[in-house]
Amino acid sequence: MSKSALITGITGQDGSYLSELLLSKGYTVHGLVRRSSSFNTSRLDHIYADPHEAGRRLVLHYGDLTDSTGLRRVIEKARPDEIYNLGAQSHVKVSFENPEYTADADATGTLRLLDCMRDHVEHIGREVRFYQAGSSEMFGAAPPPQNEKTAFYPRSPYAVSKVAGYWYAVNYREAYNLFIANGILFNHESPRRGETFVTRKITRAIGRIKSGLQDKLFLGNLEAKRDWGFAGDYVEGMWRMLQQNEPGDFVMATGEAYSIREFLAEAFGCVDLDWRKYVVIDPRYFRPTEVDFLLGDATKARKTLGWTPTVSFRRLVRMMVDHDLQLAE
């Protein structure tokens, strides 16, 4: 029998790469989609299957992490072997503006889903495995390099909510003997990255500058450092976490960090432009509390999961710039 997976956040960057991966492994993939007044499934267009198609292996369900009754219904319908909880209000700056909603979706949403799974497992009497999308933002102000033993020091409502999600996951694992893994993922990007995250904002602007559609790029703090990898590599790690004999918590990172300034130089360098001629600092993009330096130590993932990132920083930047040059054209 082929396996079945449920992905919350299937319409997001990671959800789309994870769906491709699981479909390629023969899974039936169920995804939770928020109702929106416009289409929000563009990242899934290439794998979308019409509901009238017989034997389709990608099935979308309306639902929201703020609505437990719907979550319960979707789990009962999908009867998943694995649940990947990727759904979240994932923008750090926005979490300062919508803190309560962020906590509801990211922290309490995780609790809701775990609790639905707990009842479902009891009801059906077989194991279901759960992946929780934790974040390097949970380390916040803790000095680098950060690994599974580093104490959390969250610096935003988003990060605090992710810490709560992490501990709900640990507690449900211990209290009810459930197979639950926490991924603690450092920043991962791709041509499918949301346009308001800094990497994509930069590469999208480069495409538009080259096409004459834009001549300025407004940014905030250029000194922060991030450990940026490729999203396609990271979803492979999520899957591997759920294939282990025992559940655990894993950092996934490249082990290299660059500042936003360095990202700008690399990205504008791809098209022989000097970023300093285009970038304007706008304080509206500063955060009330910043995370200065994230650099991950993924030794445990390498040793236990055999996971290593395959895409270098330079290749990632080039991939995103090339994509956005074409898009702007």
Which residue ranges make up the site for ligand NAP (CB under 6 A)? Answer: 8-9, 11-15, 32, 34, 36, 40, 64-66, 86-90, 105, 133, 135, 185, 187-188, 194
Task: Specify the pairing of strand 279-281 against strand 217-219.
Answer: parallel
Per-residue tokens: 192: 């499918």
Residue in 137, 233, 249, 266 binding ligand G4F, rule: CB under 6 A: 137
CB 27 within 8 A of CB 3: yes
Q: How far is the CB of 187 from ligand G4F (least distance, A)?
A: 4
Residue list 36-95, contact with ligand G4F (CB under 6 A): 90, 92-93
Contacts of 123 (CB under 8 A, 6+ apart): none
Which of ligand G4F, ligand NAP, none sits in contact with 287, Cβ below 5 to 8 A by type?
A: ligand G4F
CB contact at 8 A, 129 and 82? yes
Segment interacting with ligand G4F (CB under 6 A) among 4-12, 63-71, 214-222, 269-277: 214-222
Nearer to ligand G4F, 179 or 186 (CB): 186
Told to check if 186 binds ligand G4F by CB under 6 A, we report: yes
Site string for ligand G4F, 147-166 (x = CB under 6 A): --------------------
198 makes contact, choosing from ligand NAP, ligand G4F, none, with CB < 5 to 8 Å by partner type, with ligand G4F
CA distance 246 to 229: 26
285 binds, among ligand NAP, ligand G4F, none (CB under 5 to 8 A by kind): ligand G4F
* Residue 307 structure tokens: 């996971």
| Cβ atoms of residues 111 and 123 within 8 Å | no
Round to whole Å and give the CA distance between 135 and 166: 9
Amino acid at 76: E
Residue list 112-131, contact with ligand G4F (CB under 6 A): none
Active-site residues: which are they? 135, 137, 158
Measured from the CB atom, the residue of 130 and 186 that comes closer to ligand G4F is 186
Residues sharing a CB contact under 8 Å with residue 35, sequence separation 6 or more, in sequence order: 62, 64
Which amino acid, residue 247?
P
Contact of residue 310 among ligand NAP, ligand G4F, none (CB under 5-8 Å per partner type): none
DSSP string, 249-315: EEEE--S--EEHHHHHHHHHHTTT--GGGTEEE-GGG--SS---B--B--HHIIIII-----S-HHH
Calpha distance 140→289 (Å, rounded): 9
Residues that bind ligand G4F (CB under 6 A): 90, 92-93, 135-137, 186-187, 196-198, 201, 219-221, 224, 226, 260, 285, 287, 290, 294
